[in-house]
Amino acid sequence: MNACQITRLAARERPRLQLFCLPFAGGNDGFYRGWRDYLPPDIDLNLISLTQKSTLLGRREQAGPRTLPEIAHRLANVMAPDLSLPWVLFGHSMGAVLALELVLQLARRQSLLPSLLAVSAHVAPQFHNPDPLYLLSDDEMCGLLREMGGTSQAMLASPGIRKMILQAVRQDLRLLTDWRPPAQQALPCPIAAFLGEKDNMAPLPAMQGWRSWTRAEFSCDIFPGGHFYFNHDPQPLIARLLARIPLSPT
């Protein structure tokens, strides 16, 4: 990975809060662009992209070995100078793991803590299963993506686009396979967990395990749907996410 980039969709009024969104495995920052329509006018929406050279899918080509802690380290360097306002970090699926690593980096180095760490559709670290899903065949991987529901069927039907999607997904799934959870600790910031009721990859008991990673408030909200429960309508999730932000920033 060469660089980390943050695209800021500025608040329409004087900002009071920054919301940072981390992509899922194989995802890109464009997934969250539509969220701006559902946010109050005084919230900055910050879309995190993990690499450098644009491709058709909005992904970036990668160079050299990388790990999730290394990515978190680079992201911390990019984000730290701009955290002048209260901020919230949201990560979906692989993005939830990266969000935890990022908060740990910022807390250790500069005591910069979010008002809320929001984790979606990924089990608590103590339940992490390092199955090598990146080794699935192309047909098996496409079947998994269809089951999860976060990838357009039309894109999977196009051989050229499918090849790029599978490459991006495999790269990120390998990151998850190689990731070893950090030593468990209770963060001073609140954690809000979100999941789809039919998501077999992130069942409720394993999502509730995030409770042990905070000494502040913990919440766990369930929505209809599967792994990408908010894909077609993010408004219920965004409303609940905003409601979980403490009135007094951490």
What DSSP line would sit under 82-115, residue for residue? G--S-EEEEEETHHHHHHHHHHHHHHHHH----S
Is residue 57 over pLDDT 60?
no
Q: How far apart are CA 10 and CA 120, in angstroms?
A: 24
- Confidence bin at 3 (pLDDT 50/70/90): low
pLDDT digits (tens, 9 = 90+) for 16-38: 999 999 999 888 878 899 999 99
* Beta-bridge mates of residue 49: 5
51 occurs within a structural domain: yes
Residues 6+ apart with CB under 8 A from 17: 42, 43, 44, 85, 86, 87, 88, 115, 245
144 occurs within a structural domain: no
Q: What is the four-CA torsion angle of 29, 34, 38, 41, rounded to 10 degrees? A: 70
Strands 87-92 and 116-120 come out as parallel
- Confidence bin at 201 (pLDDT 50/70/90): very high
CATH number, residue 36: 3.40.50.1820
Q: How far apart are CA 86 and CA 42, in angstroms?
A: 12
Residues 6+ apart with CB under 8 A from 9: 33, 36, 44, 45, 46, 47
pLDDT digits (tens, 9 = 90+) for 209-234: 999 999 999 999 999 999 999 999 99
The structure's pTM equals 0.90
Residue 1 has a pLDDT of 41
209 occurs within a structural domain: yes
- Confidence bin at 189 (pLDDT 50/70/90): very high
Given a contact cutoff of 8 angstroms between Cβ atoms, the answer to whether 162 and 86 are in contact is no
Helix locations, the chain, DSSP H: 68-79, 94-110, 138-148, 153-157, 159-178, 204-208, 235-244
* Beta-bridge mates of residue 21: 47, 90
* Beta-bridge mates of residue 5: 49
Among 219, 220, 221, 223, which residue's Cα sits nearest to residue 196? 223
170 occurs within a structural domain: no
Q: Residue 95 is encoded by which pair of tokens?
A: 């993005």
53 occurs within a structural domain: yes
Is residue 69 over pLDDT 50?
yes
Q: Residue 243 is encoded by which pair of tokens?
A: 């409601």
- Confidence bin at 108 (pLDDT 50/70/90): confident
Stated length of the chain: 250
Is residue 44 over pLDDT 80?
yes
For the chain, what is the domain count?
A: 1
226 occurs within a structural domain: yes
Q: How far apart are CA 168 and CA 128, in angstroms?
A: 21
Q: How far apart are CA 87 and CA 250, in angstroms?
A: 9
199 occurs within a structural domain: yes
94 occurs within a structural domain: yes
Domain that holds residue 70: 5-129+183-244
